[in-house]
Amino acid sequence: MLPIEKLQALTAEHQELQEKVSDSSLMSDARKFRDLMRRYKELTAITDCWKSYQNTETELAEAKHILDTEKDPDLQQMAKDEIAELNQRLEQNEAELRDLLIPSDPNDEKNAIIEIRAGTGGEEAALFVADLFRMYSYYAEQKGWKKQVIDASETGLGGYKEVVMQLNGENAYGLMRFESGVHRVQRIPVTESSGRIHTSAVTVAVLPEAEEVDIEISDNDLRIDVYRSSGNGGQSVNTTDSAVRITHIPTGLVITCQDEKSQIKNKAKAMKVLRSKLLDLQISKQEQEIAQSRKAQVSTGDRSAKIRTYNFPQSRVTDHRINLTSYNLDGFLAGNIDDFVQSLRIAHRNEKVNE
């Protein structure tokens, strides 16, 4: 049974919000107006589906009345066919409503900041950072997202100690969020002469891009240092103090950026990452509190958990959270990861349904 009283209350709330969103005076408070529009959008989807459900119920009652009162065999058969179709539509409406009634995460619509860092495995881990960087770049192209590299630290053999990038586009964080964790790779490194398989690890952190209205940072809490850029970068690298290091004193978070030739641009990028990290700390704390009350398979608050293994000799990739395996590793690294992404989202939704 659907929660009728709750749906009626949400319909009333939607009508109230419909009046509020047309009030131009609310636009002066950016945070309040943004939250108001997000809630209005959620409720519009729910009320539209609820109206469709009610209309289908009405049509079903009319079809049943025809079946009970009409004597004509042709009309009775038409009524039976219509009843079967309407019952199927009613089930679909109910399933959609139950899904819509699960509280959505407001961060899902945000852009995503991806941090990929080499863990155990030395140069081989750094090379796999480059593989994952390319994989997510290909996936972003498929989704029509815009990619922006915020910071990168290259190694001699074409790998990266770390890469920080931002993906801008519809539902970027909502799709990428479950990539956070430890990614393990098993293969013969290019540096291995004896042909032995090595196991290395790379950590991925996915942060929702935080806006200024999400996180307020006091200038007194910041220590900002500038220095000369290092590594590849062309003109101006190693000649001007364009690189920026920002330390958030209360948390000890340190953010560096040297991707741009401009100190101002590097500072803006670093502040963007800092805000997102502070928002992520809030989210992680909430997830850990939830994890204490239930065993979460997908949305675990433990960001150090091993989530996936990439086995090159067997061309196999396995996600350990949902026991999903593919034997098309080349295709996976070419950005064809959507089956895994959607399966993880469904598992997460099912967790919420069972809460």
| pLDDT above 90: residue 128 | yes
Neighbouring C-beta atoms of residue 51, cutoff 10 Å: 12
The predicted structure's pLDDT at residue 96: 87
Dihedral pair phi/psi, residue 10, rounded to 5°: -70, -35
Distance CA 195, CA 167 (A): 37
Distance CA 145, CA 138 (A): 10
Tokens of residue 200, six digits: 């290395």
Identity of the residue numbered 305: A
Domain ranges of the chain: 4-100, 106-354
Could you tell me if 165 and 150 are in contact, meaning their C-beta atoms sit under 8 angstroms apart? yes
pTM: 0.66
The predicted structure's pLDDT at residue 58: 95
**Which helix (H) or strand (E) covers residue 48, if one does?**
helix 30-69
Distance CA 329, CA 333 (A): 6
Q: Judge residue 24's burial from the number of C-beta atoms within 10 Å of its C-beta, 0-12 exposed, 13-18 middle, 19 or more buried.
A: exposed
Identity of the residue numbered 293: S
More confident residue, 237 or 243: 243
Tokens of residue 54, six digits: 């009610």
Show the CA angle centred on residue 54, arms to residues 53 and 55, nearest 5°: 90
The predicted structure's pLDDT at residue 196: 86
> What residues are paired with 62 via a beta bridge?
none
Category of 255 on φ-ψ map: left (φ > 0), alpha (ψ -120 to 50) or beta:
beta
More confident residue, 79 or 231: 79
Distances in whole angstroms, Cα of residue 248 to Cα of each of 235, 243, 286: 30, 17, 21
pLDDT band at 212 (very low <50, low <70, confident <90, very high): low
Q: How many CA atoms lie within 13 A of 254 on its CB side?
A: 3
**Which helix (H) or strand (E) covers residue 145, if one does?**
none
pLDDT band at 303 (very low <50, low <70, confident <90, very high): low
Please give the mean pLDDT across all residues of the chain. Answer: 86
Q: Residues 286-299: pLDDT tens digits?
A: 666 545 544 444 54
> What residues are paired with 184 via a beta bridge?
201, 309
Architecture of the domain delimited by 106-354:
2-Layer Sandwich (3.30)
Distance CA 107, CA 190 (A): 40
CA distance from start to end of the chain: 17
Q: Judge residue 207's burial from the number of C-beta atoms within 10 Å of its C-beta, 0-12 exposed, 13-18 middle, 19 or more buried.
A: buried
Question: Helix 30-69 vs helix 4-20: angle between axes, to the nearest 10 degrees?
Answer: 130
